[in-house]
């Protein structure tokens, strides 16, 4: 059973009430009247859109608390993580982190914030794939074209930061196919896309949700998708694995983190209220249409996911070190 199937089955058990992961009184724990949901990237990108959609759908379950989304971009999540780690551990500040910002980035950039020691896992939200994209007018029509061109030319690709999932995928892709790729980091997906459409970079490695609108509008061309299976958002696009690049057969995730020292009952209460989103079929379907495989899960589930990702990335980086 792979991680994806495990998470889905676990979420099903949670929804059926078969696992006592949340205290019966968790939802009754008093939370601050204002809860800051910190997003580690600039407004307009996929993570920002996820945060705002989540805040909207779970607000009724946070009765008495107003959820405010606040963007703190920079250093692939380090700035946001540092900010959250310094806040009161009372449930008033929560970080929307990801496998990129909480597992990969710290390994590469040597963050002063330890994602395990300095933050408290609260709730696993969703898994998501990345895609390799070029402008619609590009002469590169397929992944094979991209590889062939990069064999004889230095090709640039943008991502949402040094140490991001897109950065890692680009590194693995270049190493596997023995091609020349130059990474160009940005503070968010929207900036990377803008620069690509402006002709400043040749391509981007970003999440499916970040490029879906432009792909639907015919402004960009999606060459391949990461992960073991095709994504529901781009069912017609083959995976890298299908196209012969097996090293990119894994995906990332999103989750909520609180400052270290946050009481277990507060973390469980936030997770319980947040996981109410899994019962909203319209929301789950909307997230699926935007590229998010909504899985849900409490503090222990997210903790296991975080530690598993760190182990996976350590092995990859040992063979393919990212130079800063």
Question: For residue 209, what pLDDT is reported?
Answer: 83
Does one domain contain both 145 and 170? Answer: yes
Convert the pLDDT of each residue in 79-126 to its tens digit: 999 999 999 999 999 999 999 899 988 888 877 889 999 999 999 999
pLDDT of amino acid 28? 67
* Cβ neighbours of 70 (radius 10 Å): 12
Mean pLDDT, to the nearest integer, of 290-296?
A: 86
Residues spanned by the domain of 57 = 3-128+251-319
Average the pLDDT over 251-259 and give the result: 95
> Are residues 61 and 110 located together in one domain of the fold?
yes
Do both 32 and 58 map to the same domain? yes
pLDDT confidence of residue 200: 97
* Structure token pair of residue 256: 């909520």
**Count of structural domains, the chain:** 2
Both 98 and 171 in one domain: the answer is: no
CB atoms within 10 A of CB 264: 11
Residue 70 main-chain phi, psi, to 5 deg:
-130, 130
Q: Kindly state whether residues 141 and 215 are assigned to the same domain.
A: yes
Q: From the DSSP assignment, how many helices (H) and strands (E) are in the chain?
A: 12, 11
Residues 77 and 186 in one domain: no
Asked if residue 115 and residue 51 are part of one domain, the reply reads yes
**Mean pLDDT within 226-248:** 93
Position 215 scores a pLDDT of 95
C-alpha 255/C-alpha 271 separation (Å) is 10
* Summary mean pLDDT of the chain: 88
The answer on pLDDT for 154 being more than 60 is yes
Distance CA 213, CA 195 (A): 16
- Output the pLDDT for position 319: 82
Residues 273 and 178 grouped into a single domain: no
- pTM above threshold 0.85: no
């Amino acid at each position: 059973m792979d991680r994806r199937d495990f998470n889905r089955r676990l979420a099903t058990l949670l929804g059926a009430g078969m696992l006592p992961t949340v205290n019966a009184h968790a939802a009754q724990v008093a939370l601050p009247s204002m809860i800051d949901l910190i997003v580690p990237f600039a407004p307009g990108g996929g993570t920002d859109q996820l945060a705002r959609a989540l805040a909207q759908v779970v607000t009724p379950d946070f009765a008495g608390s107003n959820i405010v989304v606040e963007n703190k971009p920079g250093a692939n999540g380090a700035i946001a993580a540092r900010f959250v780690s310094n806040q009161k551990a009372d449930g008033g500040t929560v970080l929307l982190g990801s496998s990129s910002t909480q597992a990969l980035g710290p390994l590469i950039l040597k963050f002063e914030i330890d994602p395990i020691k300095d933050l408290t896992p609260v709730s696993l939200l969703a898994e998501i794939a990345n895609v390799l994209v070029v402008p619609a007018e590009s002469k590169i029509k397929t992944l094979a074209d991209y590889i062939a061109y990069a064999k004889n030319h230095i090709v640039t690709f943008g991502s949402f930061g040094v140490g991001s999932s897109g950065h890692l995928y680009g590194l693995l892709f270049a190493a596997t196919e023995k091609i020349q790729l130059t990474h160009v980091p940005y503070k968010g997906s929207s900036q990377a896309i803008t620069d690509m459409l402006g002709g400043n970079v040749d391509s981007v490695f970003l999440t499916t949700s970040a490029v879906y609108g432009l792909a639907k509008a015919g402004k960009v061309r999606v060459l391949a998708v990461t992960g073991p299976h095709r994504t529901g958002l781009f069912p017609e696009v083959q995976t890298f694995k299908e196209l012969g690049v097996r090293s990119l057969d894994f995906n990332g995730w999103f989750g909520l983190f609180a400052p270290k020292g946050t009481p277990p009952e507060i973390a469980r209460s936030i997770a319980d209220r947040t996981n109410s989103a899994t019962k909203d079929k319209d929301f789950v379907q909307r997230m699926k249409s935007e590229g998010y495989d909504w899985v849900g899960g409490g503090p222990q589930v997210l903790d296991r996911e975080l530690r598993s990702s760190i182990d996976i990335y350590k092995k990859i980086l040992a063979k393919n070190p990212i130079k800063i």
